[in-house]
Amino acid sequence: MSTIVAGIGASHSTLMNTHWDEVAEDPGALRFRAGLEAARDVLAEARPDTVIIIGSNHFRGMFLDLMPAFTVGVGEVIGAGEADTPKGRLPADTALARTLVDTLSEDFDPAFSLRMQVDHGITHSYQHLVPGLDVPIVPVVVNMFAPPLPSLRRCDALGAAIGRAVREDGQDKRVAVIASGGLSHRLPWPKWYRALSDDDRFLVEAWLEGRDSWQEYEVRRRQIIRAAESDINPDFDARFLAALEKGDLSEFLGLSADDVDRVAGNGAQEIRSWVAMAAAVGPAEGVTHAYAAVPQWLTGMAVASIRPLT
């Protein structure tokens, strides 16, 4: 059987790639970058044969014409390449991916893709955490932005099922699990069914029509995001990270999507990836490598790792 050797949770921000000069002297941003390096060392030390990356898609690979709750890349994995993130075909563990889909289908209804385009919701972690950028990955994309969202309890169950699938796959692989996204932040994104302003309507059009032309929407889309005011809740982030360090996120599982939005922002829906990662790893203890509220990136930026107890 294969073994899960480590779990990593990391916030993502493409602005770290494209606008680093704006925060190059900011202590929080520097802490976050150092935290990524520390987590990268943890991953290198764990020597994974494969990395499962659980993350979101920001309407560059998944669109409102078809929005599954959970999608596993079982064939080609193609980086969208936006904002200096990896572009083109990425190494993929298709055998483990198929095993995940087969196992998850017993209790879930996962979608799968033979040609999955992933954006920074997957590739930011791959770019900054995976040693050598040559370890094959299995992307698991969770719908975190187009309501209705899968509940946090459902994501916890998904993670537990991923863990079982790895441990019962009949192989002898060392597998790491990365959660990409969060923590608290608010994006200037409307609900798709309540587009009120011109910017709202533009974004919903991009989310619906962008399957073959998402790049055409990027300039204005980036301008909208860059113009937004930050809305970060460090207290929520601290509670979440403390619970992760103890290996017990149960206090958060009862939160509804509306609860998360109200307390920590619509971008904090990405804690679903952290919940699923922790459940996949199982009983664990962890360490927070870095946390900083970085208003220039709109986000509570965190990096943490957990190690299984057994």
Alpha helices by DSSP H, listed for the chain, are 15-18, 27-46, 94-104, 120-129, 152-167, 198-209, 218-226, 234-245, 257-264, 271-281
3-state secondary structure of 209: helix
Question: Does pLDDT of 132 surpass 90?
Answer: no
Neighbouring-strand partners of residue 286? 306
Residue 131's pLDDT is 80
Average pLDDT value for the chain: 96
Beta carbons of 31 and 290 less than 8 angstroms apart = yes
Name which of 223, 227, 229, 235 is nearest 300 in CA terms. Answer: 235
The catalytic residue among 12, 128, 185, 289 is 185
185 is a catalytic site residue? yes
128 among known catalytic residues:
no
CA 78 to chain centre: 16
Q: Residue range 138-159: average pLDDT?
A: 98
Q: Say if residue 277's pLDDT is above 90.
A: yes
Angstrom distance (rounded) from CA 146 to CA 58: 10
Catalytic position from the list 12, 120, 128, 289: 120
pTM of the model: 0.97
Q: Given this model, what pLDDT does residue 134 score? A: 86
User: In whole angstroms, what separates CA 259 from the centre of its chain?
Assistant: 20
Percent of the chain at pLDDT > 90 equals 97
